[in-house]
Chains A and B, each alone.
Chain A
Amino acid sequence: MSDTAVATDHHYTATGLPTWKVGFWTFMGSECLFFASLISTYMVYKGASTTGPFPADVLNIPLTSISTFVLLMSSTAMVLALDGVQRGKKRLATFWLAMVIMLGGTFLGFQVYEFNHFVHEGLTISQNVFGSTFFVLTGFHGAHVTVGVIWLTVLFIMSLRGKLEPADALKVEIAGLYWHFVDIVWIVIFTLIYLLQ
């Protein structure tokens, strides 16, 4: 995350924006198409399974609503963490970074429980088309959350050792962009898979 861009003259850029930010937004555009394709696949195959378990048999809306709430709250914590770094409040920043990690980890815990539970109910990746689409879509989302948690853990350790100055806010901001993106994708997934069965 510290791939210092080659600015022509110190930090001159044609747009005045930080180069890292432009690059990362571009990458997220790419990610949008990635998840759009996975989500479309899920939608195309909705109701196509020839054998059970079907979505209504296994999906637990109240439980997943809790984990969704947890993930959304982690975005709030992320905003506060960035604010802490920007204003140079190191202890506040460290605390909120820890909160994001904890909430993200909790979400992952729910997902591990859910996957485990589904497998016991007889829903595996090879059981039917629902299983294939469900596990691959939510699995890739979970993998993105995992990457986010590891990334934030690195920032947390840096913050703990007092190495996140206000000048480093961009590092946290970009991690935040990623985290919010992963959150938004989950809102779409939660709506399409769980709420609109």
Chain B
Amino acid sequence: MSAHDNGIWSWITTVDHKRIGVMYFVAALVFFVIAGVEALMIRIQLWRPENDFISAATYSQMFTMHGTTMIFLVAMPMAVAFFNLIIPLQIGARDVAFPRLNALSFWTFLFGGIFLNSSFLFGAAPNTSWVAYANLTSIQFSPGHNVDFWVLGLSILGISSIMGGVNFITTIIQLRAPGMKLMRMPLFTWMTFVTSFILVTALPVFAVALILLAFDRFFGANFYEPNAGGDPILWQHLFWIFGHPEVYILILPSFGVISDVIPTFSRKPLFGYPIVVYAGIMIGFLGWGVWSHHMFTTGLGPIADAFFVASTMIIAIPTAVKIFNWIATMWGGQIRFTTAMLYSIGLLAIFTLGGLSGIMHAAAPIDLQQHDTHFVVAHFHYVVAGGVMMGLFAGLYYWFPKITGRLMDERLGRINFWTYFVGFNLTFFPMHISGMFGMPRRTWTYAAELNIALPNMLSTIGAFIFALSALILVYTIIKSAISGEPAGPNPWNASTLEWSIPSPPPHYNFAEIPTVRSREPLWREDERREIEAVTLKVPDVEPVMPNSSYMPILLAFGVALTWGLVMTGKWWAPLIGLAYVGVCILMWAFEDPFAKKGA
């Protein structure tokens, strides 16, 4: 492998988990900026009553693409970026279990994201919201290609996520260093493990929902067609059976990040480690039993309503357990308020608020009032933009030095955090109020008589501060990557294995695989010396790593091509793509990843 090669082709053909992680992160950041612009369009339109900045049709495209992009192209891939960058380092492995499959996941994700966004070029961006309820999505009510781009784009992204989930479950089960028992794994690895299980089980349900919709649209099936006996509510069930576990796919990685960050900057081991692990597993399980709380207004009947009210309230318990454990970890610790720590505490505070408003509409009678109002928009932005994204940015400031070898600028970081915190709250807190006053979601304007001009104006001002914060973040990343202070192997004096190797890590990560004897190996003097003796040395012979390969990008292109050909509406067209995919898979199967070059 040409490890020190830095040309464009070396990135396109790479199977190195660190490079794939960097590409995931950069792609997610680009999509973050795109989704931000869409959000600003929404906020400008809602700046004053009866505004006509954009049309109702464009507004629909904006909120649909904002939601879809933030969830599938920003929050999920940014979490996967950290899975890639950090998991092998945390468990003491040289790469993930299936390096080429990992590259395939990335390219499939990227092509899926491009596919989805290419809809703008055709003036046919998806416009039925990120939940795309049937039968608004039927040919009859959505005759254009808008929904086609959505349904096909998301099924490409789903394939990527399932492959990623399989890879990380296998990696964590199989490639732990000697002595790294399950109950010694860092919390981020644990939460990645739980998240991966949700990925491989929830995504296929979504895949089926999408397949049924695709068959309705392209081949005239009747799954969501009431005239033929189909039931549009089926879509809601399938969508939310996926969609609620998806919420935990989003938040658990962030919980994992701050469970590593808070102990590091409190100089204390995580309080109640096993309980935090069990709470995370519990959330993963219970997340499957709450989906219909999104559907109280569909009239499920009192028994079903009561069940889902109860199950939804129960899930607050393991979540609260985690929150108390983080607080207890900080209690009496020597806290250092680095940017990573600020973001972690920010998550703690904001996610708690989002959780509280969540418990409010867990109660069906209250939900009937709040359903489809801006109150719900406020709630899930507190959970996702406040919770998930802050956790991911905590991870960015925390692990950036490990990956690049340079510290991020802490002064800019603080400015970034506080503009984020202020902008976020100014944007979303007033939505609680406008929502309570009855402002509906997904409606491009509002009447002056509703008396919600002030909260909307505040939200719009907040959105621009929020956007400023995002620009500061991008600037900080670029500046720090070029001219940040050298970090050294363990700048934060953290306890876990990834900090025992040089920053940036050599392409083989560990010169020799260390043996782990405790949960905080680097905080025990004798164990640290023992580990660093093997992880910091330069090996006489470099470990053999798999060759780079063209197959992942070629195969991912085939997947996108096949899905694109479905849109022609000709039944035989996708078969051309499938044939190409088949050839790629065969070439893949017979490619030897360890073949000697130039022999």
Task: Give the residue of A3, A29, A31, A132 whose beta carbon is less than 8 angstroms from that of B100.
Answer: A3
For the complex, what is the distance from the CA of A34 to the CA of B162, rounded to whole Å? 11
Task: Give the residue of B97, B211, B241, B546 whose beta carbon is less than 8 angstroms from that of A23.
Answer: B97
Residue tally, chain A, CB below 8 Å to B: 44
CB-CB contacts below 8 Å: A34-92 with B: 34, 37-38, 41, 44-45, 48-51
For the complex, what is the distance from the CA of A150 to the CA of B578, rounded to whole Å? 13
Q: A125 and B95: CB pair below 8 A?
A: no
For the complex, what is the distance from the CA of A128 to the CA of B169, rounded to whole Å? 41
Q: How far is the CB of B295 from chain A (nearest CB, A)?
A: 15
Q: A8 and B594: CB pair below 8 A?
A: no
Q: Is A116 an interface residue (CB 8 A)?
A: no
Q: Residues of A contacting B591 with CB < 8 Å?
A: 2
For the complex, what is the distance from the CA of A33 to the CA of B230, rounded to whole Å? 22
Q: Residues of A contacting B478 with CB < 8 Å?
A: none
For chain B, which range describes its interface: under 10, 10 to 19, 20 to 34, or 35 or more residues? 35 or more
Supposing A3-B98, A5-B98, A27-B200 touch, asked if A136 and B212 sit within 8 A by C-beta, the answer is yes
Residue of A4, A9, A30 contacting most chain B CB atoms (<10 Å)? A30
For the complex, what is the distance from the CA of A136 to the CA of B221, rounded to whole Å? 9
Supposing A22-B173, A26-B170, A154-B589 touch, asked if A136 and B228 sit within 8 A by C-beta, the answer is no
Residue of A34, A49, A128 contacting most chain B CB atoms (<10 Å)? A34
Supposing A44-B231, A132-B215 touch, asked if A26 and B220 sit within 8 A by C-beta, the answer is no
Q: A129 and B208: CB pair below 8 A?
A: no
For the complex, what is the distance from the CA of A59 to the CA of B121, rounded to whole Å? 47
Q: Is A197 an interface residue (CB 8 A)?
A: no
Task: Give the residue of A3, A27, A31, A128 whose beta carbon is less than 8 angstroms from that of B593.
Answer: A3
For the complex, what is the distance from the CA of A50 to the CA of B227, rounded to whole Å? 8
Supposing A34-B207, A128-B229, A136-B211 touch, asked if A6 and B95 sit within 8 A by C-beta, the answer is yes
Task: Give the residue of A5, A33, A128, A132 whose beta carbon is less than 8 angstroms from that of B97.
Answer: A5
Q: How far is the CB of B552 from chain A (nearest CB, A)?
A: 11
Chain B 223-254 per-residue mask, 1 if CB under 8 angstroms from chain A, else 0: 10001111100100010010000000000000
For the complex, what is the distance from the CA of A126 to the CA of B166, rounded to whole Å? 35
Chain B 157-188 per-residue mask, 1 if CB under 8 angstroms from chain A, else 0: 00000100111011001111110100000000
Task: Give the residue of A9, A50, A128 whose beta carbon is less than 8 angstroms from that of B513.
Answer: A9
Q: Residues of A contacting B175 with CB < 8 Å?
A: 6-8, 13-14, 19
Chain A residue at minimal CB-CB distance from B241? A37
Chain A residue at minimal CB-CB distance from B544? A6
Q: Is A195 an interface residue (CB 8 A)?
A: no
Q: How far is the CB of B104 from chain A (nearest CB, A)?
A: 10
Q: Residues of A contacting B211 with CB < 8 Å?
A: 136, 140
Q: B586 and A6: CB pair below 8 A?
A: no
For the complex, what is the distance from the CA of A34 to the CA of B545, rounded to whole Å? 35
Task: Give the residue of A9, A15, A50, A125 whose beta carbon is less than 8 angstroms from that of B174.
Answer: A15
Q: A30 and B99: CB pair below 8 A?
A: no
Q: Is B402 an interface residue (CB 8 A)?
A: no
Chain A residue at minimal CB-CB distance from B95? A6
Q: Residues of A contacting B100 with CB < 8 Å?
A: 3
Q: A37 and B201: CB pair below 8 A?
A: no
Q: A126 and B220: CB pair below 8 A?
A: yes
Residue of A13, A41, A140 contacting most chain B CB atoms (<10 Å)? A41
Supposing A15-B174, A33-B201, A125-B215 touch, asked if A6 and B230 sit within 8 A by C-beta, the answer is no
Q: Is A17 an interface residue (CB 8 A)?
A: yes
Q: Is A167 an interface residue (CB 8 A)?
A: no
For the complex, what is the distance from the CA of A144 to the CA of B546, rounded to whole Å? 30
Q: Is the interface of B mostly helix, strand, loop or mixed?
A: helix
Q: A33 and B229: CB pair below 8 A?
A: no
Q: Is B390 an interface residue (CB 8 A)?
A: no
Chain A residue at minimal CB-CB distance from B586? A154
Q: Residues of B contacting A196 with CB < 8 Å?
A: none
Q: A37 and B230: CB pair below 8 A?
A: no
Chain B 207-222 per-residue mask, 1 if CB under 8 angstroms from chain A, else 0: 1110110010001111
Q: Residues of A contacting B173 with CB < 8 Å?
A: 14-15, 22
Q: B222 and A126: CB pair below 8 A?
A: yes
Q: Residues of B contacting A1 with CB < 8 Å?
A: 589
Q: B94 and A8: CB pair below 8 A?
A: yes
Q: B174 and A126: CB pair below 8 A?
A: no
Task: Give the residue of A26, A48, A49 whose beta carbon is less than 8 angstroms from that of B231.
Answer: A48
Q: A23 and B204: CB pair below 8 A?
A: no
Q: B238 and A6: CB pair below 8 A?
A: no
Q: Residues of A contacting B219 with CB < 8 Å?
A: 125-126
Q: How far is the CB of B285 from chain A (nearest CB, A)?
A: 15
Q: B582 and A150: CB pair below 8 A?
A: yes
For the complex, what is the distance from the CA of A33 to the CA of B546, rounded to whole Å? 32
Chain A residue at minimal CB-CB distance from B551? A3
Q: Is B101 an interface residue (CB 8 A)?
A: yes
For the complex, what is the distance from the CA of A135 to the CA of B510, rounded to whole Å? 52
Task: Give the residue of A19, A30, A150 whose beta carbon is less than 8 angstroms from that of B201.
Answer: A30
Q: How far is the CB of A9 from chain B (nearest CB, A)?
A: 6
Q: A6 and B96: CB pair below 8 A?
A: yes
Q: Is B276 an interface residue (CB 8 A)?
A: no
For the complex, what is the distance from the CA of A129 to the CA of B234, rounded to whole Å? 13
For the complex, what is the distance from the CA of A15 to the CA of B180, rounded to whole Å? 11
CB-CB contacts below 8 Å: B508-542 with A: 510, 513
Task: Give the residue of B92, B166, B208 whose beta carbon is less than 8 angstroms from that of A38.
Answer: B208
CB-CB contacts below 8 Å: A150-168 with B: 150, 154
Chain B residue at minimal CB-CB distance from A124? B220
Chain A residue at minimal CB-CB distance from B216? A132
Chain B residue at minimal CB-CB distance from A51? B228
Q: B234 and A8: CB pair below 8 A?
A: no
Q: A31 and B204: CB pair below 8 A?
A: yes
Q: Residues of A contacting B229 with CB < 8 Å?
A: 45, 48-50, 128-129
Beyond A125-B220, A150-B582, list 19 extra A-B contacts (CB 8 Å). Answer: A5-B98, A6-B97, A8-B92, A8-B94, A8-B177, A14-B175, A19-B97, A19-B174, A29-B201, A30-B200, A34-B205, A34-B207, A37-B209, A41-B208, A128-B228, A129-B229, A129-B230, A131-B221, A136-B211
Residues of A within 8 A of B (CB): 1-9, 13-15, 17, 19, 22-23, 26-27, 29-31, 33-34, 37-38, 41, 44-45, 48-51, 125-126, 128-129, 131-133, 135-136, 140, 150, 154
Which 8 pairs between the two chains have the least Cβ-Cβ distance?
Answer: A126-B220, A37-B208, A34-B204, A132-B221, A48-B229, A23-B170, A14-B176, A30-B200
Identify 15 residue pairs between A and B in the complex whose beta-carbon atoms are under 8 Å apart, listed by A's number.
A2-B589, A8-B92, A14-B173, A15-B173, A19-B170, A19-B175, A37-B204, A44-B234, A45-B231, A126-B222, A129-B223, A132-B215, A135-B221, A136-B221, A154-B586
